[in-house]
A and B are shown apart, each in its own frame.
Chain A
Amino acid sequence: MNQIFKYSVPALGLLGLVLGGCQPTLDSPAASPGSANFATYVSVGNSLTAGYADGGLYREGQLNSYPNILSQQFATVGGGAFVQPLFTEAQSNGSGYLRLAGFANGSPTVAPVTTKLAVRGLYTPPLKDIPVAPGVTIPFQGPSRPLYTKFTEPVNNLAVPGILMADIQTPGYGSVAGNPYFERITPDANPYQTYLQRIQATVAALKPTFFTFWLGNNDVLGYATTGGASPSSVITNADTFKLKANRALAVLTSGGAKGVVSTIPDVSGIPFFTTVGPVLKATLTAKKVPGLVIMTGAAPGGPASGNRKQIGTADIRDASGGRQLFTLTASPFLGLLGQPTAAPWRYIFAQSNLPKVLFAPYLASIGVDTTAAFGVSAGNPIPSAFVLDDVEQGAVATATTAYNSALMAAASAHGLALFDANSFFRSVAANGLATNGVNNTAAYVSGNLFGLDGVHPTPRGYAVVANEILKAINAKYGSSFQGVNANDYRGVTFP
C-alpha cells in the first residue's frame, strides 16, 4: 500500500501540473475606433488640459495630462504622435509648484519647489505713474514676472493654463506682457497671435481628425477663488462665453474633425473651498462663537457701506450643512480671529502689486481698523477674498449653468460627444470614486484626486478624467477604449 502511494502521488501531481499548463485565456476585446478617426488628436483647454497641478506646470504633470493619457489610448487604434510643449528633463520643474513638506499638528504643510525651473528671464512691466493722493502721482515699477523656456514647434496639446474663454480673441495674450504659458508656445514671428488664431493655424497645419475641448473653467474660477473680491477677476458674460465657444468649435470642426466637449464643473466642491470651513466651524462651535463678520464683494466702503456681512457659525458649510465657503488661502489667518491684526490685509494688499505707500489708503477706503478684533467686528472683518459666500456662490452657479447650456448646445449642434464634467465632479464630491478597490474622494491631500493647490487634479485625478472622457467617446462614437488603471497614477506625493 505504501509502495503504491509512494509512486502514484508524484505521478498524479505531475499529471496535474501537465494538465494545469492549460491556462484559461481571456480574449481581450481589441480597442476599436468606432465611427471616429483618432489619427491626429488636438486638445484645446486651460490648466486642466495642460496637466497643471499643485499650483504649477511641470513635466510630470504634463506627462500625466488627460490628453496625453487619451493619446496613449488613441495610439491603440492608429492614433499618431501627440506633441505636448513639455519642459525638458533639465528644467523638469517648469514653473515651480507646491510640494507636501510634512505635517504640523496633523495638518499638511506645503513648500514651493524652486529648483530646475524653466525660467528663461523676467518680464518687467513698464514704469507707471500711480496716483497716491489727490493730484499726486509716483512712478511705480510693478513686480517682474517669469517668462518660461519657449517651445515653438507645433504642438497637439494647445492648453494654456489660466486662459479664459473670454481671452481667446485677445491680441497680445501671447506676448511677454500676456499669459506666460501662451507666450511660451507662441511663435516668435507672430507674438500677437490670438488663441483662436493659434487654433486656426493648428487646424490648418495638423488637420486634426479628433479633438477635445475643455475651456471656460477660469471664466468663473478666478472670481470664485478670489472670493468674488477681485475687481479684475469677474465672471465672463454668458453671451460672450457662448459666442466665443461657438467660434472655437466652428474652427475645430471645420475640417470635419470629431471630438469631445467638456462642461464646466461646479467649483464649490473642490478642496480649495471645502477644506478650511469644516475645521473652522468645529473650532468656533467648540468655543461657542456664534458667528463671524466678513466682507463681501469687491466694492470699497466702510462698515456702513453694505459690504459687511454677519454669518452664523452654523452657516459655514460642512458635511452637516451650511452655505458659506472659506478658501484654502484663508487658512493661515484664521488663527488670528478675535485678535487685532493687520496681517490678513497685508496679504490681500500684496496680491494687488501696488506700492506699499498705498496700504494705508487702501485700508481707509474699505474702513478697516486693524486694532479691532479680527473677524468678529465690522471694523476688522474677514476679507472678502477668503470667503465665497452664498450670494457669490449664486453668481457662480448661474454662470456655470449658463456656460454649460451653451457648451451642451454647441456639442449637440456639431454632433460631438459630451463629457459632463459638472455632474462627474459633483458625484465625486458627494460619493467619492472607487478605482480598483481604492476609495478616492474630493478631500484635500488625503483624497488622492486633488493636488496641493486644492483646485487641480493629481495624476490620479487626471487619469479618472481621461477614463470618463473615454466613456463619453465610446458612448458617442461606438468605440471601445478601456481606459487606464487609475491606481497606476499617483495621488499627492507624501514625503
Chain B
Amino acid sequence: MTIKTLLLAGGTLLGSAAAASASGFQVNLGGQQNIGMGGVGVGLSLDQAAMFYNPGALAMVRENGVQVGANFALARGTYMSSNGGPERHLQPLVVTPFNLYASFGPKEGKYKFGVAVYTPYGSQLRYADQWEGRYALTEINLQAVYVQPTFSYAFSPRFSVGAGLTMLAYGSANIQRDLPLPTGPAHLTLDGKADFRVGYNVGIFLKPTDKLSVGISYRSQIEARLKGGDVSLAGLPAAGSPSAGAINSQFTATSFDSTLPLPAMAAIGIGVMPTDKLTIGLDASLVMWNTYRTLDFAFSGNNGNAGPETPANSGLIGGKNISSSKRYYQDALAFRLGGQYKATDQLILRLGTAYDFAAVKDGYVTPETPDADRVIGTAGVTYQPTPHLGIDASFQFERFVKRTQTQDDLISNGTTDRVAGTYRTDIFIPGIGVRYSF
C-alpha cells in the first residue's frame, strides 16, 4: 500500500473531527493507544504514533511496524439565541479522523525511518436549518491531511532525537452561509483546496531511568493557502426580475483566495513506569493560536451579473472585494493525564483525562468553531492475540463548558458578524486501530 493509494482510499472516509477534538480546530487524535490515555504521548514511546506526538521517541520504539487507526467522531451541539427561541442542534455528522504509520530500521540499529499520515486539524459542522446564525454560517468542512516522512536517531538507550517534514498533502475548506437579501435568503458557498506546503516537526526524548521518560516536541505552523477557490451563489433574484439589477450586480465573484493558519504546537511530556505493567503519562501542550488574527477572503472573477465586465464590478460579494472577520485567537494550553495497565499479555486497559483551554476568547466565538474550555475523559483497551498484532479500541468523550456571549460583547469587540447566544457541545469519539509489528 503506497501512501498515495492510502490517501485515495482515505478520501472516502476522510475527515476531521466534528467540532475539532482539541482547542480551535486542532485535532489531537494521533494514535489509538494514546487516545485511550487522555491523548498523552510526548513523553512516551508506545508505538509508531510517536511520529505524531514526538518524533524524537520513534527511535526508542523497538520494533518496526505498520499501524492504522480511525476515529468516528460525533459532535452533539446545541445553541440558543440570546433572544430565546428553540434550541438549535448541530446536525449529527460522523466524521473520521484517521492515522497511519509505518516505520523501518535495523532491528538493533540506532535509527528509524518512518512515514506518518494523519489529520491534525479539521472541523465539520452543519447547523440546523433556519438557525439564528445562518447569515454567519450554515455549514463548514475543514480538512487537513499531513504526510510526514520522519527520521529518528538514538544517541544512546537514554537519549534520542527525531525530526519530520510535515507536508500538507491535502487541505480543503468548504464554508457556507446564507445571505440576507431583501428578496429572501440566498446562499453562498466557498469551496477551495489548499496548496501543498511543507513544515516540520522535531522532538527530543530522554530516558534518565527505566522508570522515567521525558519528551519535548514542536510542530511548526503551516499556512493553508486556498487559492482560486470556487464561489457559488444560489437564490439570487432571477435574471430579469425587477430587483435583479440592483441586487445581483453586488454579487459577481467567481473565485476567492484565503489563508488559514494551521498553528504551531509545542509540548512537553513525562512518562512514568513504576512497574512493568503500569505506564502513566502526563503532557502539557501549547498551541500557538494567537497567529490567527482574522479570517480574510479576497474575491475575484466576474460572472457577468453586473453587465459587461469592468475592474470595478468584478469580484464582488455583497458589493465588496474582500471580507475580513476578526478571530483574535489566543494561545491555548492543554493538560493531559493518562495511564495504561497491562492486565495480561493479551490485554491492556487504559484511562485518561485532559483539560483543553479554549483558543477563542470571550466575545469572539464564531459558529464555525464554537470553541470552549473542554473536559475530556478517555478509555481504551488493547487485545494482543500475538506479540506482533495489537487491536486497540479507544473512546474519547469531550464536554465543552457552556459558553455565552451577549450582543453587547459582540458590539464592544466589533464582532457583530456572528451571533449572540449560548453554545454547548459534547463530542463522542469511538476509535479503533490495528498494529502489526515485525
Which A residues are within 8 Å of any B CB, using their own CB?
1, 4-5, 8-9, 12-13, 15-17, 19-20, 22-26, 28, 31, 101-103, 106, 108, 434, 436-439, 446, 448, 467, 482-485, 487, 490-495
Contact = CB atoms under 8 A, between A and B. Distances in A.
Interface centre among A26, A482, A484, A495 (most CB of B within 10 A): A26
Given A12-B430, A101-B242, A493-B182, A487 B425 contact: no
Contact of A434 (B132, B397, B417): B417
Contacts of A448: 182
State the main secondary structure of chain B at its contact with A: strand
Contacts of A4: 391, 434
A26 B80 CA distance: 7
A494 B416 contact: no
A437 B416 contact: yes
B426 interface: yes
B428 to A, nearest CB: 5
Given A5-B432, A495-B243, 19 more contacts: A8-B432, A12-B430, A12-B432, A16-B94, A19-B428, A24-B77, A24-B426, A26-B424, A101-B242, A106-B246, A434-B416, A436-B83, A437-B136, A438-B135, A482-B82, A484-B83, A487-B135, A492-B182, A494-B247
A93 B221 CA distance: 62
Contacts of B432: 5, 8-9, 12
A491 B431 CA distance: 49
22 contacts: A4-B391, A5-B432, A8-B432, A12-B72, A12-B430, A12-B431, A16-B94, A17-B92, A22-B426, A26-B424, A28-B87, A102-B242, A436-B136, A436-B420, A437-B134, A437-B135, A438-B180, A467-B83, A485-B83, A487-B180, A494-B237, A494-B242
Contacts of A17: 74, 92, 94
Report the contact-size class of chain B (Cβ under 8 Å from the partner): 35 or more
B410 interface: yes
Nearest to B397: A19
B434 A13 contact: no
B434 A485 contact: no
B232 interface: no
Nearest to A24: B424
Given A9-B432, A15-B430, A436 B132 contact: yes
Contacts of A13: 72, 94, 430
Contact of A495 (B77, B242, B422): B242
Interface in B135-190: 135-136, 180-183
Contacts of B74: 16-17, 19-20
Q: Which 7 A-B pairs have the closest CB atoms?
A: A434-B416, A482-B84, A102-B242, A437-B136, A495-B242, A12-B430, A494-B243
Contacts of A108: 246
B197 interface: no
A451 to B, nearest CB: 12
A26 B87 contact: yes
Interface string B94-117: 100000000000000000000000
Given A436-B419, A482-B84, A484-B83, A1 B393 contact: no
A5 B434 contact: yes
A22 B247 contact: no
Contacts, number: 132
Interface centre among B77, B83, B426 (most CB of A within 10 A): B83
A485 B81 contact: yes
Contacts of B87: 25-26, 28
B267 to A, nearest CB: 28
Nearest to A106: B246
Contacts of B419: 436-437
A325 B436 CA distance: 81
B228 interface: no
Given A8-B393, A24-B76, A436 B434 contact: no
A212 to B, nearest CB: 19
Contacts of B378: none
Given A437-B416, A485-B132, A487-B132, A25 B78 contact: yes
Interface centre among A17, A24, A467 (most CB of B within 10 A): A24
A103 B428 contact: no
Contact of B81 (A436, A438, A492, A494): A436
Contacts of B420: 436
A439 B180 CA distance: 9
Contacts of B30: none
Contacts of B428: 16, 19-20
Interface in B348-394: 389, 391, 393
A1 B432 CA distance: 12
Interface centre among B76, B133, B389, B402 (most CB of A within 10 A): B76
Contacts of A437: 133-136, 416-419
B304 interface: no
A28 B84 contact: yes
Contacts of A31: 84
B72 A1 contact: no
B85 interface: yes
A155 to B, nearest CB: 28
Nearest to A26: B80
Contacts of A106: 245-246
A20 B241 contact: no
Nearest to B85: A485
A248 B360 CA distance: 51
A443 to B, nearest CB: 12
B80 to A, nearest CB: 5
B422 A26 contact: yes
A495 B241 CA distance: 8
Contacts of B434: 1, 4-5
B295 interface: no
Nearest to B89: A23
Given A16-B72, A437-B418, A494-B182, A26 B132 contact: no
B83 A482 contact: yes
Interface in B206-262: 237, 241-243, 245-247
Interface centre among A108, A448, A485 (most CB of B within 10 A): A485
Contacts of B393: 8, 12
B430 A103 contact: no
Nearest to B249: A106
Contacts of A102: 242-243
A9 B432 CA distance: 8
Contacts of A494: 181-183, 237, 242-243, 246-247
A26 to B, nearest CB: 5
Nearest to A23: B76
A437 B420 CA distance: 9
A180 to B, nearest CB: 31
B411 interface: yes
Contacts of A12: 72, 393, 430-432
A103 B81 contact: no
Nearest to A492: B182
A172 B182 CA distance: 42
